[in-house]
Amino acid sequence: MKLENLTISKIKESLEEGKFSAQDLTEKYLEKIKKENKELSAYLSVTKELALEQAKEVDKKLKKGEAGKLAGVPIAIKDNILVKGESCTAASKILEDYIAPYNATCIEKLKKEGAIILGKTNLDEFAMGSSTENSAFQITKNPHDKKRVPGGSSGGSAAATAADLCQASLGSDTGGSIRQPAAFCGTVGLKPTYGAVSRYGLMAFASSLDQIGPITKTVEDARILFSVLTGKDEKDSTSMEIDFDKIKIDIKKTTIGVPKEYFKEGIDKEIKDKVMERIEDYKKMGAKIKEVSLPHTKYALPAYYIISPSEASSNLARYDGVKYGLNTKKGNYKDVRGKGFGDEVKRRIMLGTYCLSSGYYDAYYKKAQKVRTLIKKDFTKAFEEVDFLITPTSPTPAFEIGQKSEDPLSMYLADICTIPVNLAGLPAVSVPAGKTNSLPVGLQIIGKPFEEYKILELANLIYD
């Protein structure tokens, strides 16, 4: 049983043919986690008892012919998504002892289809970061080079998937937190359209930007997982039931847009060259390639770092030591938040509180929202001329641990290619586009709202 060769379809097929049981497969993954996680630090906690219990249940259902789409598929969950009865820390000391009282909607959907939950993965504290160095508990390493970061904030999920410590994983994406680590670790990362997947049970960072999505080893696995996760949820008023257009794309009638702003100074030459090679592959298949402009892209980063901290300062107000929070000797508000939150979380709370304060709201938050509207209009205009947009996922390959941790602005630039997509609420997928100096390069495909299946089909045409 070579775990690196498995896909969701192969697992289901093998289980139905009796080549191995769900319990066999789960034990194999748990054994591998026990051996390798200490060095990689991808998991914060392993839900061994829950996983084995679920595997036994799946084996019973397989015998009855009642297995779901994800029967026996071992999945890791980012530790800001609630799994009932298990710890959920958001990689923060303020929630070190918190046990989830209910399942997130996405977890209910996974369990209904027979997925096996192996454990909770590391992240930047409260999903605030681009390297998984901001975790209060450990620093996750990149499986391709353990001296480098796996990206963030879903670095634990991407590293676990890339290292075959799970078949697939769930992450959350507020400004690139699924796609950027997927690019750094050589996996597939899908950020769905805002509203395509319920956020109920996801610890809120920036509510108008957050989305849950899959990190997988193949494009097809991402498609299968997305099909399970999507849909209207009464517990999340922003979620929608969409009749997704599953019409096959004709590459010879497809126009791919290349936004010139994403290939300018600041993008590593090696990254640019690899992405352009893949664009050339599409051209050889018959696609029309057209340069387009998204003129307000240069304002995306500053707008994001006003909007997201503002929403975070509001969302994180609940961690006050009364309803949630650290038990300290003094037990006061200042002491709980001072000791419970890490530096990056404090930085964003202070920034957001300032932007929302009296006299500054109009100058900062309101203006940033107007810029967000202009960025969205840029995409709408571009999609009148093209069917898809292709960009690099990250301006650089994975950087060394510690290289950017003392320079917040340099770290923020790691998400410069992904942030505009969140501001516009669009779907985007990062897929491997080759390697530079043995490090993975990610290519980002951006689509029109609720065209996840189309961007995945386009991705599959070049996915190696």
Cite the active site residues: 78, 153, 177
Q: Where are the alpha helices (DSSP H) in 41-114?
A: 48-64, 105-112
| CA quadruple 273, 188, 160, 139: dihedral sign | positive
Are 380 and 137 spatial neighbours (Cβ–Cβ below 8 Å)?
no
Under the phi-then-psi rule, with left for phi > 0, alpha for psi from -120 to 50, and beta for the rest, what region is 72? left
Whole-angstrom Cα Rg for the chain: 21
Contact between 49 and 55 under an 8 Å Cβ cutoff? The reply is: no
Strand arrangement of the beta sheet that strand 188-191 belongs to? 43-46, 116-121, 74-78, 168-173, 211-216, 188-191, 428-436, 439-446, 388-392, 255-259, 288-292
Q: Three-state DSSP class for 323?
A: coil
CA 97 to each of CA 185, 303, 315, 456: distance values in angstroms, whole numbers, following the listed order? 30, 35, 20, 39
Give 142's DSSP letter. Answer: B
DSSP string across 266-280: TS-HHHHHHHHHHHH
Find, among 351, 373, 372, the residue nearest to 301 by Cα: 372
Phi, psi at 76, each rounded to 5° = -105, 150
For residue 29, the one-letter residue type is Y
Tell me the longest C-alpha to C-alpha distance in the chain: 68
Q: DSSP class of residue 315?
A: H
| Strand pairing class (116-121; 74-78) | parallel
Instruction: Output the CA torsion 233→237→238→239 (10° steps).
Output: 10
Task: Check: CB of residue 413 under 8 Å from CB of residue 421.
Answer: no
Kindly state the tokens that stand for 102.
Answer: 């209910």
